[in-house]
Amino acid sequence: MTAPLLEIENLRTWFYTDSGVARSVDGVSLHVDHGETLGVVGESGCGKSVTALSILRLIRAPGRIEAGSAIRFEGKDLLTLAERDIQHVRGNRIAMVFQEPMTALNPVFTVGDQIAEVARIHAGMSRRDAWEKAVEMLRLVGIPAPEQRAHEYPHQLSGGMRQRVVIAMALVMNPALVIADEPTTALDVTIQAQILELLADLTKRFGTSILLITHDLGVVAENCARVIVMYAGQVVEEATTAELFSHPHHPYTEGLLGAMPRVGGNAERLATIPGTVPSPTAWPGGCRFRERCMYAWERCAKEHPPLYQIGAGHVSRCHLAVEPERRSQPHLPVAAQQGVTAA
């Protein structure tokens, strides 16, 4: 059993704002193995994007990665590296693909130039070699007529094409890890299918690991071997994809699965999770999901649940792990009782 490629331990990224300290990421631990695609699922405000940015230390003031956090990659703790060394990692050993291809690309440079720049910076290639590499990468990501297309500007390409360019930029240096933050959310569903297929194909070919951040459980089901569910700045469940979908443990995961309409499904009414995500400046004590949970009981208000082991490779941050009989006593969640539906 080899060591994981990336290991995050107790990551805490807090933002010091006028309205208080926002603990956006509050003790997240996860690992990504070589050649695997790990899915990170959560809704707005759960901290998944901040986690991704923290890995590459892209957090700026007033945000700060707190002491006691560790991010180990290829044997080094990224958080202790000097600025010059982390620059060597960014784009080279760990690459990032963002959600909005238009803002990820510089509008005043050709796409060929932008890909070539990565090669020049990290591999010290000459202009001509870097350009050839850029064309080769465009061909690799399936852009037709890459020699001509390389001379085009981002606004001349469609959304799907731009995302392919962004992926090409990410893969130029053959990184060990690609962090993809909602890479297909802004794209149409048929284009999404193309892009995900491309990512799956390339990762198989080059053995790249992917940290795939998304809110779409369908995307996770089809592309990820393992899944992490985040809520309120923490990991609330982790399991293999098959296990998560067939035996979800945490009530939030259950809620998400129930709230999703699915093609071919037969739900009369979608199950909803009443209430809203609490504010990161004021996480409630005890279990943070308590007010919206239909199983919560006194223990949940007093004791913040740790990650309990449910099965092989399956953990869940829920006291139901030690008192499973409570699952047969559902009740109306506190948030629904207040007569407020509110989100």
Partner 1 sequence: MTLLSVRDLTKHFPIKRGVFGQVSGQVRAVDGVSFDIAAGETLALVGESGCGKSTTGRVVLRLIEPTSGSVQFDGNDVFALGAGDLRRLRRKMQIVFQDPFSSLNPRMSIGAIVREGLTIHKLAEGAAADARVRQLLEEVGLRPEYASRYPHEFSGGQRQRVGIARALSVEPTFIVCDEPVSALDVSVQAQVVNLLQDLQRDRGLAYLFIAHDLSVVEHIANRVAVMYLGHIVELAAVNDLYGTPIMPYTQALLSAVPAPDPGVKRERILLAGDVPSPANPPSGCVFHPRCQHPARDAACAAIVPPLEEKAPGHWAACIKQPPTAASWEAQKAAGGTNSPEFFLPRAALHRSVDSTSAHQSLPA
Partner 2 sequence: MTSKSPAGAGIAAPTVRRRLRGDRRVWIALGVLAAIVLTAVFAPLLAPYDPRAQLDIAHLQSQPPSLAHPLGTDTFSRDVLSRLIYGTRVSLAVALVAVSISITFGTLLGAVAGYVGGAIDAVLMRFVDAAFSIPPLLLLIVVIALWGDISVVSLTLLIAGVGWFTVSRLVRAETLAVRDADYVVAARALGVPGWRILGWHVLPNAIGPAIVSATLAVGNVILLEAGLSYLGIGVRPPTPSWGNIIEEGATRVSDVWWLTLFPGLAILVTVFACNALGDALRDALDPRQLLPAHDDAPFA
Taking residue 322's Cβ as centre, other Cβ atoms within 10 Å add up to 10
Asked whether position 214 contacts partner 2 by CB under 8 A, the answer is no
* CB closer to partner 2, 92 vs 276: 276
Phi first, then psi, for residue 48 (nearest 5°) are -70, -40
Residue 49, binding choice from partner 1, partner 2, none, Cβ under 5 to 8 Å by partner class: partner 2
- Residue recorded with tokens 């933050």: 181
* CB closer to partner 1, 127 vs 247: 247
Query: Min. distance of Cβ 76 from partner 2 in angstroms?
Result: 22
Name the CA dihedral angle for 94, 313, 8, 321, rounded to a multiple of 10 degrees. Answer: 140
Relative to beta strand 37-41, strand 226-231 is parallel
Total residues at interface with partner 1 (CB under 8 A):
51
Residue 286, binding choice from partner 2, partner 1, none, Cβ under 5 to 8 Å by partner class: none
Closest alpha carbon to 177 in 64, 65, 52, 87: 52
Q: Please list, residue by residue across 141-159, b when 16 or more beta carbons sit within 10 angstroms of its beta carbon and e when fewer do.
A: bbbeebeebbeeebeebeb
Near partner 1 in 203-222, by CB under 8 A: 215-222
Asked whether position 340 contacts partner 2 by CB under 8 A, the answer is yes
Query: Min. distance of Cβ 183 from partner 1 in angstroms?
Result: 13
Closest alpha carbon to 101 in 59, 61, 143: 143
Asked whether position 262 contacts partner 1 by CB under 8 A, the answer is yes
User: Length of the chain, please?
Assistant: 343
Asked whether position 83 contacts partner 2 by CB under 8 A, the answer is no
Near partner 2 in 1-60, by CB under 8 A: 15, 17-19, 22, 24, 44-50, 53, 58-60
Phi first, then psi, for residue 230 (nearest 5°) are -110, 145
Residue 242, binding choice from partner 1, partner 2, none, Cβ under 5 to 8 Å by partner class: partner 1
DSSP 8-state assignment for residue 85: H
Residue 193, binding choice from partner 1, partner 2, none, Cβ under 5 to 8 Å by partner class: partner 1
Taking residue 121's Cβ as centre, other Cβ atoms within 10 Å add up to 17
Q: Rounded distance, CA 135 to CA 115, Å?
A: 9
Asked whether position 282 contacts partner 1 by CB under 8 A, the answer is no
Taking residue 321's Cβ as centre, other Cβ atoms within 10 Å add up to 17
Out of 3, 10, 62, 306, point to the residue binding partner 2 (CB under 8 A): 62
Residue numbers at the binding site for partner 2 (CB under 8 A): 15, 17-19, 22, 24, 44-50, 53, 58-63, 276-282, 338, 340, 342-343
Residue numbers at the binding site for partner 1 (CB under 8 A): 43-44, 144, 158-161, 188-194, 196-197, 215-222, 241-242, 245-246, 255-257, 259-265, 267, 269-274, 276, 339-343
